[in-house]
Amino acid sequence: MTDKNELAQIGVVGLAVMGSNLARNFARNGNTVAVYNRSPEKTHALIEAHGEEGNFVPSETIEDFVASLERPRKAIIMVKAGRATDAVIDQLAEAMDDGDIIIDGGNALFTDTIRREKDVAARGKHFVGAGISGGEEGALNGPAIMPGGPKESWETLGPILESIAANVDGTPCVTHIGPDGAGHFVKMVHNGIEYADMQVIGEAYQLLRYGAGMEPAEIAEVFREWNSGDLDSYLIEITAEVLAQKDPETGAPLVDIIVDAAGQKGTGRWTAINGLELGVPITGIAESVFARALSSSTAQRRAAQEGQLPAGTIKALDVDKAEFIEDVRRALYAAKLIAYSQGFDGIKAGSEEFGWDVDPRDLATIWRGGCIIRAKFLDRIRAAYDNNADLPALILDPYFKGELEDLIDPWRRVVVAATQLGLPAPVFASSLSYYDSLRAERLPAALIQGQRDFFGAHTFKRTDKPGTFHIEWSGDRSLTQTD
Ligand code: 6PG
């Protein structure tokens, strides 16, 4: 139904699939929604196909769109991240009044969001960078929403966002994350975790396929079973679907027909870069980004295959198949646990750096539904932070420590098997090294400090007394205290 005279509670700019699904979600949940797209055909198409789902107020100019919103006006931008977003923000800020709210629902880089918030605030309006997860289906039926921006805007926006968000046990999967770029930052790390989660699932598949010699359809059944236990999650569920799918043209397993070069739009890479900048070892996420990059290094891979780099003496697996499958399940669970633990470390570091005061309990709550990394396991993460909001690391929570008791040996066995078989398992292996590094009483960092002092007089600390020291390496090798 459309009514030009009715004022809308919310507006959506940009009516590609995500935008129009979000608009439909608002309308289906009783909100009157103003809709605008640069080319009016998309607006007409939305109204024609779905106008009966609720109250839409379509406009053909941004001015009419703004005029169709009730005050304080609330408009969500769902256009391509980057310059297109800046252009729409500028148009909206121009046409809106003081106190109105512009929301960017795309995957914007959080530093852009911080900049935009400042600019828009200087023009008297509010700007909210909101991460929205759940893909096309989530946008329509209930996404997880991570809004940043001023707390004041959340008071106005909260109820309307709650009306469309996913809901788990009566709790909507949306909350105010923190000021300015906090929402987009958290969404960025969500996507980083998503990359790692997808990669460890991929590594498990690779081991079952080429280590245990199983066919995709058989592995699909294994994933289906895993989805009823600790690993119960959206990504495991869709993995089973993808593996069971046959290519409609050839009848071959679809996974064998798809080119094995993974794409990326950049959010995982941003997370890894941020980890490097803030000095947080989010190794699982970084390895996952590199794994995608390596998969897409087509020419180099071809040369390495044609040149037949030596594989060493590949030994056949001498373990029982059922035991191996269970080991892989546990290794996957362990590596996934590390990825989440590191992701939460990344969020803590970002929150401290930018003064956002992000509460990890909020994330563990709102990520339980709607988003791509939704998993049963998030309930456990929430419980962990409920018990201790200042956990030094998620894996140090008593429940997860107990889980790791059961996971550690199979995890080691799987990394050994992968190495022995010459099968790549970058996140399984590097996460295990991360885990062992955290546990290690002594790290070779002492030697590195010695080397740095040797060639650059970079000094070192001593274990037995305070102060900063240097050895006269090219002289008499005496010890001097520098402060
Ligand atoms: C989500 C997804 C979504 C998008 C990813 C895909 O949370 O709904 O993360 O935002 O599908 O950006 O990212 P890549 O193209 O980089 O894999």
Q: Tell me the pLDDT tens digit for each residue of 245-293.
A: 999 999 999 999 999 999 999 999 999 999 999 999 999 999 999 999 9
pLDDT for the residue 307: 77
Percent of the chain with pLDDT over 90: 94
pLDDT tens sequence for the chain (483 residues) = 555 568 999 999 999 999 999 999 999 999 999 999 999 999 999 999 999 999 999 999 999 999 999 999 999 999 988 888 999 999 999 999 999 999 999 999 999 999 999 999 999 999 999 999 999 999 999 999 999 999 999 999 999 999 999 999 999 999 999 999 999 999 999 999 999 999 999 999 999 999 999 999 999 999 999 999 999 999 999 999 999 999 999 999 999 999 999 999 999 999 999 999 999 999 999 999 999 999 999 999 999 998 789 888 777 677 899 999 999 999 999 999 999 999 999 999 999 999 999 999 999 999 999 999 999 999 999 999 999 989 999 999 999 999 999 999 999 999 999 999 999 999 999 999 999 999 999 999 999 999 999 999 999 999 999 999 999 999 999 999 999
- With the most atoms of ligand 1 within 8 angstroms of its CB, the residue from 191, 199, 234, 371 to mutate is 191
CB 50 within 8 A of CB 33: no
Report the Cα 475 to chain-centroid distance in Å. 52
- Distance between CA atoms of residues 397 and 175, nearest Å: 24
DSSP state of 86: H
**Cα 169 from chain centroid (whole Å):** 23
User: Residue 312: what pLDDT?
Assistant: 84
Report the pLDDT value the prediction gives residue 2, as an integer from 0 to 100: 58
Q: Which ligand 1 atom minimizes the distance to the CA of 135?
A: 8
Instruction: Looking at the CA of residue 195, tell me the nearest atom of ligand 1.
Output: 17
Q: Is 199 in the pocket of ligand 1 (CB under 6 A)?
A: no
- The dihedral sign for the CA sequence 164, 168, 172, 173: negative
> Is the distance from the beta carbon of residue 197 to the nearest atom of ligand 1 less than 6 Å?
no
* Known catalytic membership, residue 117: no
Cα–Cα separations (whole angstroms), residue 271 to 49, 237, 288, 454 = 38, 25, 11, 34
- The rounded distance, in Å, linking the Cα atoms of 131 and 303 is 40
Across the strands, what pairs with 172?
167
The region, left, alpha or beta by phi > 0 then psi within -120 to 50, assigned to residue 481 is: beta
Can you give the C-alpha Rg of the chain in angstroms?
26
Question: What amino acid occupies position 468?
Answer: T
Q: Whose CA is nearest to atom 9 of ligand 1?
A: 191
**Does 194 contact ligand 1 (Cβ within 6 A)?**
yes
Q: What is the dihedral of CA 227, 233, 234, 239, to 10 degrees?
A: -50
For residue 191, report the distance from its CA to the centre of ligand 1, in Å: 6
Is the beta carbon of 191 within 6 A of some atom in ligand 1?
yes
pTM of the complete model: 0.96
pLDDT of residue 82: 85
